Amino acid sequence: MTPEEYDARSLYAALQPGDHVEVIHGVTVGSSANWSTKTVGKVLRTERRRHGLHFRRSGDDKVYSDVLILARDDGELTTVTIDEYTRLRRVEGGAAR
């Protein structure tokens, strides 16, 4: 686990409803195209969701993902899956500074 992933996981574990966060999610396409997306919002809740579509299936077929449900500043609700490419940062009052 990289230090950045450890920091993101630690912050994720400490999040409470009402916290404002900035989520930067890395997206890799092919071997050379790397992009990132940023979402800022208020934490509504965190969840661990079970799903069955995964390329490395476990023996008991139970695979889970940590997700963050956010309310963006414009009122839109969004769900972000936390993985090794996700960076989290706490922000004040809903706007990144």
Look at 19 and 61; give whichever has higher pLDDT. Answer: 19
Structural domains of the chain ordered from first start: 3-90 (2.30.30)
- Runs of H (alpha helix) within 1-97: 3-14
Look at 54 and 34; give whichever has higher pLDDT. Answer: 34
What's the confidence (pLDDT) of residue 2?
A: 85
What's the confidence (pLDDT) of residue 32?
A: 72
Report the percent of the chain where pLDDT is more than 90: 45
Q: What is the pTM of this model?
A: 0.78
- Between vectors from CA 18 to CA 15 and to CA 23, what angle results, nearest 5°? 55
Q: In what order do the strands lie in the sheet with 86-90?
A: 77-82, 63-72, 33-51, 20-29, 86-90
